[in-house]
Amino acid sequence: PKEKGWLTEYLFQYQGFWLSPGAVKATMLVQHYFRAQPTDIFAATPPKSGTTWLRALIFATMNRTQFELSTHPLLTTNPHGCFPYLETFICEDGSISNLDTFPCPRLFSTHIPYSLLPAESMTGVSGCTFVYLCRNPKDVLVSKWIFININKSRHKQLPALSLEEAFELFCQGTSHYGSFWEHVLGYWKASLENPKKILFLKYEDLKNEPLVYVKRLAEFLGKPFTPEEERNGDVEEIVRLCSFENLSSLEINKHGEHRFNSEYVVNNRDFFRKGQVGDWKNYLTDEMVKRIDQITEEKLYGSGLRFGA
Ligand code: A3P
């Protein structure tokens, strides 16, 4: 089945998830040709859930001994340029073999749902490591609706998608990389079964207690902060470097652009909108809130996973 919704392109249902044509191709390539290494680290997210932030945090944490703060790559490179997005990278000619030459541990970002990743090489006990970041679905919806409209007008001068249309598509699960709830549940259940391989994080928790979660992230990635690093304020430094306020104020993120592939280019400033918890309150009607909360409750029932208001 196919569905024309958010953009001009159709989304196709592939193995139970709605994917753009590019994402179908990328997922098939990953399933059949990607040579995963057990040391690979993935920043996995549903779209518009804090991917930019997570990428920055993983990059800064993993490479913290290599760079001085004053010349840190994140000051001059958008977080999306710091390590590859698996789906777009794997679709470029010849890049599958190029990936083998990347230094270990390789860092990647992906939106591919957990159950679509190849079980023998990527998921499971001897597979790769995943840090999953998700977010309250109401904030994801608003963030996605605004982002899509910016890109619609930039790329195709298309009329904007109304919030009502976006809401319907989102609630039906007709969204890039599939239903938000299915995406989250896939990684959530896997993280319960395999906590050493999947760290499951929520945007709201990271916002509330960034120091706690950056320390947890470092430990999980096998690079715990030493007592000396903690005394020196290195955790605080990473939190500050990767904060919305800092990244969004940098020249590169105010004026630069990021080219995912030859067709898909995003102004860096569009990765940074408000970076707040609960901005949905400024957009969604009471009726919308009631419906989406009900869907969330039904879908997550019995899973042990909850999102705050
Ligand atoms: P809003 O649209 O609610 O502001 P993604 O990176 O997955 O595309 O998600 C984008 C959302 O993350 C946007 O949310 C964006 O503002 C927010 N964001 C980007 N960088 C951030 C950061 N460093 N800290 C917190 N939120 C950030």
Token pair for residue 302?
Answer: 């019995």
Question: Residues near ligand 1 with C-beta < 6 Å?
Answer: 45, 47-53, 139, 143, 242-244, 247, 271-275, 279
Question: What value does the mean pLDDT take over residues 213-239?
Answer: 98
- Name which of 135, 90, 120 is nearest 108 in CA terms: 90
Residue 263: the pLDDT is 76
**Residue 52 CA to ligand 1 centre (angstroms):** 6
CB 20 within 8 A of CB 180: no
User: Which residues lie across from 303 on neighbouring strands?
Assistant: none
Starting at the earlier edge strand, list the strands of the sheet with 10-14.
Answer: 2-4, 10-14, 17-19
Q: Report how far residue 304's alpha carbon sits from residue 288's, in angstroms, rounded to the nearest whole number.
A: 24
Of 83-97, 135-149, 235-249, 255-269, minimum mean pLDDT range:
83-97
User: Closest by alpha carbon to 204, among 275, 281, 140, 135?
Assistant: 135
Give 156's pLDDT tier (boundaries 50, 70, 90): low
Q: Lowest mean pLDDT of 23-32, 152-161, 238-247, name the range.
A: 152-161
Strand partners, 259: 265
Write out pLDDT tens, residues 59-81: 999 999 999 888 999 999 999 99
Distance 226 CA to ligand 1 centre (A): 29
d(CA 60, CA 49) in angstroms, rounded, equals: 19
The band of 6, judged by pLDDT with boundaries at 50, 70 and 90, is low
Atom of ligand 1 at shortest range from CA of 207: 25
Confidence of residue 259 (pLDDT cuts 50, 70, 90): confident
- Of 45, 52, 58, 132, the one to substitute when testing ligand 1's pocket (max ligand atoms within 8 A of C-beta) is 52
Q: Are 300 and 181 in contact (CB under 8 A)?
A: yes
Cα separation, 52 vs 79, whole angstroms: 6
pTM given for the model: 0.96
Q: Which residue has the higher pLDDT, 94 or 201?
A: 201
The SS3 call for residue 122 is coil
CA 288/CA 168 separation, integer angstroms: 10
Interstrand relation of 198-202 and 2-4 (parallel, antiparallel or unpaired): unpaired
User: Ligand 1: which residue has its CA nearest to atom 18?
Assistant: 275
- pLDDT of 3 above 90: no
Pairing state of beta strands 257-259 and 265-267?
antiparallel
54 Cα to the center of ligand 1, angstroms: 9
Neighbours of 230 (CB within 10 A): 14
- Type of residue at 193: E
Nearest-Å Rg of the Cα atoms of the chain is 19
User: Considering all CA atoms of the chain, what is the largest pairwise distance in Å, rounded to the nearest integer?
Assistant: 56
Give 19-52 pLDDT, tens digit per residue: 998 999 999 999 998 889 999 999 999 999 999 9
In order of 17, 25, 80, 165, 264, the CA distances from 260 in angstroms are 22, 15, 9, 26, 6
How many angstroms separate the CA atoms of 75 and 60, rounded?
11
DSSP string over 157-187? -PPPPPHHHHHHHHHHT-STTS-HHHHHHHH
Amino acid at 164: E
**Which residue from 196, 192, 194 is spatially nearest to 222, judged by alpha carbons?**
196
Separation between Cα atoms, residue 173 and residue 178, nearest integer Å = 6
Burial per residue of 41-55, b for 16 or more beta-carbon CB atoms within 10 angstroms, e otherwise: bbbbbbbbbbbbbbb
Q: Considering the chain, what is the average pLDDT of its residues? A: 93
Predicted pLDDT at 308: 82
